[in-house]
Amino acid sequence: MPLSSVKIPSRSFLRRLLVLPSVAAVAGAARPLSSAAAESRTQKLERIADELLSLTKAEREDYAVLFRLKLDLNLPSGALASPGSAAADAPAAAEEKEKEKEKTAFDIKLDKFDAAAKIKVIKEVRAFTDLGLKEAKELVEKAPVVVKKGVAKEEAEAIAAKLKGVGATVVLE
């Protein structure tokens, strides 16, 4: 449940709750909490609550994950997140995009090609793949199609430049 929908009881309610005898005490099995012990617990809870409220959104998200791990809860990752955590996730999404930009392995996708340059494109595809003439022709005719996967950046750029030079439109993914 999102933190924003959790109703936090008032301090007076918490004090009354802590001063009331425990359930076991009502049954006669234990003594009620002393006033000093209840006050000490109240102060501790207030201090913890104040510290939690002073955390930033990112720190609250980290705390929520840590709390779930400590309690061994299997909740969805956004279950305890605050409604503003989507805004906090924006920098994380930007970091993921940067990591994608810094990829080392690329897929070469043949988007389209000029009909007049079809034979040249087939020859180039055969040059950097181990396909025969028939397989290369079928592959080129299926455009848009990935013609080679997991290629190093430099090699992918070189292949893309060759294909563009013969009249194909190529995308590196």
Cα R_g (the chain), whole angstroms: 31
Q: Give the domain-ending residue among 51, 74, 97.
A: 97
Specify the range with the lowest mean pLDDT, choosing from 55-69, 84-98, 141-155: 84-98
Q: What whole-number distance in Å separates Cα of residue 152 and Cα of residue 132?
A: 23
What lies within 8 Å, CB to CB, of 157 at 6+ separation is 172
The pTM assigned to this predicted structure is: 0.42
Question: In which domain, by residue range, is 49 found?
Answer: 3-97
- Indicate whether 120 and 155 sit together in one domain: yes
Instruction: Give the total number of structural domains in the chain.
Output: 2
Rounded distance between C-alpha atoms, residue 149 and residue 65, angstroms: 36
User: Which domain-ending residue is among 38, 70, 97?
Assistant: 97
Examine the domain organization and report whether 48 and 121 are in the same domain: no
Q: What would the two tokens of residue 153 be? A: 């950046």
Q: What is the average pLDDT across 120-140?
A: 90
Task: Quick: pLDDT tens for 64-108.
Answer: 888 888 887 765 555 544 455 555 555 666 666 666 557 778 888
119/62 same-domain check: no
* CA pair distance 141, 133, nearest whole angstrom: 12
**Whether 14 and 78 share a structural domain:** yes
